[in-house]
Chains A and B, each alone.
Chain A
Amino acid sequence: MELKYGGIMINISESKYKNFKADRSKYPEMKNGKPIIDLESHKFTKIWQGPQHPGVTGNMAIELTINGDEIVDAKTHMGYLHRGFEKLLERRKYIQGFTIVNRICVPEPDTNEYCYSTAVEDLAGIEIPEKAKWIRTLNLEMSRLGSFLLWIGGQAGSLGMGTISQWTIGMRDFWLDLFEEMTGGRVYHMYMIPGGVRKNLPAGFKAKAKDLIVETRELLYDVEKSFFNNAIIKSRLKGLGIITSEMVDEYGIVGPNARGSGKEYDVRINNPYVKYAELDVKMITGTVGDAYARAEVRYKELHQSLDLISQILDKIPEKGEIQAKLPNVLHWKIPAGQTYVKAESTRGEHGFYMVSDGSKYPRRVFARGASYTHAISVLEKLAVNISISDLAGLMVSLHTCPPEIER
């Protein structure tokens, strides 16, 4: 049997460990894939990871039952963010809602804005102008890039390599500067209103963005050298948290987590929205399905995002309307109906399900975030039998975003 471990091929049958058999007598027995835990036996310890945890954007706690340093049971606890946007949206007019939906996911707010606005447009039957579609595509892709840069910093930081977080979060700030020029806001943009976008691109934006693409690529080659060619990172991420292809449908796994194990599902390609059909987007997949494969998929998607941004910058028309004509938005009644609009966030399929009853207020708005399953049922399954020191790496490699769960 041969294992590829940390880039070095180890032949176990010839090594001195060939007769090694781990002593598992002190670990609990497994029954139907679940350990039998008797807390009265004093063999186990219960500890909490979180709710304040540096590896995750937002607050989420994991209740761990450990045996030695091995996790035998994990349970995710939510409820530390005290929000309730879905309830708030029921009491707000459609135009008032779009200022709060972007807070549903902090590192990547634009996907929420896009889904909300498109759901309203779909129900009201509004077609937005060409140029607005291009600007929306640019905005969405830039927010994907920013979120990936934050993620790669978190992934390295969770394994004790803080340098990369300093680099990439610094680079993300330059992208936030561009967002500020484009929209007026750094983190929350409130840019894609129903009917189009709020402002035109500022003068000199394209040149600045192209310069920044070159700088980001230079940084990414440093990241590649120090992260993906690092023996410690490889030995810790390879084999960690394997998602098999059968699990993808069973657990509703989407995004890079699903693509890392070979599932070809990317909303930008499967159901192209805004202008993705006119761009050259390729499906990026892995095969192994472990944390390292997911990291590779995300790293390739980072480069893909940069490619797409430069493609979009070349194709944006100079002139054109950016807003469709809307009725008086303060007395805007949306025709009764139901719709579901989705987009590809960095974590996967992100969608808004909107129900209108024909009044000025939405009957129900539901935000479907990819982390909802990744952080609860998938994490609870994958965390079993790994070391507590690897849990932070696993959490970040699933790219959990607790604000999405607690909408």
Chain B
Amino acid sequence: MEQILNSIKEKIEIKSIKQRDDLYFINVKEEHIIFLLSYLKEQKGFTHLAFLQAVDFNEYNMFQLTYMLYNYDMKVNLGIKVIIDREKSEMTSIHKLWKHAWQYQRELHELFGINFPNSPHVDESFVLEGWEEIPPMRRDFDTLEYSNKTFYQRPGRSTTDPKEYMKEKLYKNFVEPPKIRKEND
């Protein structure tokens, strides 16, 4: 694994972190991502894309995208972290490298508002329908405020005393049972 990391370091500027024996993370710049992913996929055997996800760091005004790759021969996961600008929130699409990547891109477009130009079906809805607020997975989306604004409080159910209710509804010919006297009386 060290060899692969060194071979990448010769080509582009990266920063690597070892989390476990079978999990490494590297930080790369936005413009190198297509080169790096195709290099790892075609030449270094990282052929399995486990997921592509985003993390919102709203206080630093940035999104972090994570591409998780896996190498079947070395049995190692490699997470590639890219920082993108939160205002612009646009990223190059990788749908040509993996045929299921468009799904993650569609999800990120809907839930984080990150655009992937030219990615297939990226504008279609994934789970939301007729959504007009800011994308809901962004951290500045206030769930409580949204639910107060959208839904109204339902009045509580009317409660009845079960004994009285049963008397009225079911046992119309109900006879009071004889009261048992306590010994003290």
Contact = CB atoms under 8 A, between A and B. Distances in A.
Interface of A: 78-79, 84, 86-87, 90-91, 122, 249-252, 254, 263-265, 270-271, 337-340, 342, 349, 351, 353, 355, 357, 363-364, 366, 368, 372-373, 376-378, 406
A84 B57 CA distance: 19
Given A349-B50, A366-B51, 19 more contacts: A78-B126, A79-B125, A79-B126, A84-B136, A90-B139, A91-B143, A249-B47, A250-B98, A252-B98, A252-B100, A264-B72, A338-B81, A340-B19, A340-B50, A353-B66, A357-B57, A363-B57, A364-B56, A376-B103
Interface of B: 19-20, 22-23, 25, 47-51, 53, 55-57, 64, 66, 68, 72, 75, 77, 79, 81, 98-100, 102-103, 125-129, 136-137, 139, 143
B129 A86 contact: no
12 contacts: A122-B20, A249-B47, A251-B98, A265-B72, A270-B72, A270-B75, A337-B19, A339-B20, A340-B50, A353-B51, A372-B51, A376-B103
Contact of B79 (A340, A349, A363): A340
* Dominant SS among interface residues on chain A: mixed
A271 to B, nearest CB: 5
A227 B133 CA distance: 51
B137 A251 contact: no
Contacts of B47: 249
Nearest to A349: B50
Nearest to B68: A340
A334 to B, nearest CB: 14
Contacts of A351: 50-51, 68
Contact of B127 (A79, A91, A377): A79
B143 A87 contact: yes
A340 B48 contact: no
A353 B53 contact: yes
A231 to B, nearest CB: 35
Contacts of B22: 271
A86 B51 contact: no
A114 to B, nearest CB: 16
